[in-house]
Each structure stands twice: as C-alpha cells, then as structure tokens.
Amino acid sequence: MYSTTNDLCAWYRALQGGRFFELGKLPHPYGWEVRETEAKKKYLEKDGRIPGFVSNFSMFLDEDLVVILLGNLEDAAVNSMAMDLAAIALGASVPPPPPRSAAPAPVPQVHEYSDVYEVNPSFLLRCARAHPISISGVLAAITSRWNTLARTRSSTASCM
C-alpha cells in the first residue's frame, strides 16, 4: 500500500466518525491490536514492516488522538517512538532516549565491491575499479544508458 501520513489521518477521521464501522467496539477489530498504556489509556495499534519500510498507526479513540509514524528504516524504535509521542500528547513527561553508540567500522576498499550486480533480470550493473580512487572521493559513478541496457539480459554498465 502506498500512503502518506495525511492519507492515514483522513482514514483515522473516517474511522473515528464511524463511517464504516465502530472499530472501538469490535473484540478483534480487523487485525488491530487492542492495547493499554502504563497510564491505563486504551488504544488500537496496527504496525508493520517489510524490508525498507516500517509503520506504526496508534489510535486513542477516547482521547481523539492518533499517532502515525512511517519510516524507511526497519528499526524497532518506531514503536517506542510512537508510544513516547502519545505519552507526550497525553501530558506525560517522557525522558529523552539514550544516545546511540556508534561502533567503529573499517573503511572498505573500493575494490571489495567489484562485481556484477543484478538490478533486475534485464539490467546487470558491472562495478570495477577503472583507476585509483580515494575512499573520500566519488565511490560510484554510473554511466546511464538505461534504455539500451534494459533491452538485453546480458547488458552491463560500468561504474567506478
């Protein structure tokens, strides 16, 4: 499904107004989880994730509050962020999250990425080191000939 927070807010308003059904009165409301905060506020939650996308949609029907988070990182922090935002909106004091620590990682060498990558079955991308390049420089420059390359399965493009 393609959506925006504005679309989902309009959907919330339609649900809140009972245009389709009374979601809050169903024992198992169409896959929504019936939950309760630490402050005993009841809410309905639907969250989900697929590679590259994550979402949380929480409706506090008695409070006329909705929290919608959409992200492009598959990170468990989205659910806790949603609960923290709801708590703030409901007047609670929420401590800031602890800082994230970064683990040092070795700087990869460009040649480690030399290979042929399949973008789709009819578009192969060949990455090879053509000349010395610094890691702080441009790591990849793709020569775009998409129309030509997409015509045959064995087409390749060069990068680096």
Q: Encode pLDDT of 71-108 as tens digits.
A: 887 666 788 889 999 999 999 999 987 887 777 777 66
CA distance 40 to 25: 18
Enumerate residue ranges in the chain where pLDDT < 50. Answer: 133-160
Radius of gyration of the chain (CA): 24
pLDDT value of residue 23: 74
pLDDT value of residue 72: 83
CA distance 146 to 151: 9
Tell me the two tokens of residue 143: 């020569």
pLDDT value of residue 58: 95
pLDDT value of residue 90: 94
Hey, what amino acid is at 144?
S
Strand 158-159, strand 123-127: pairing: parallel
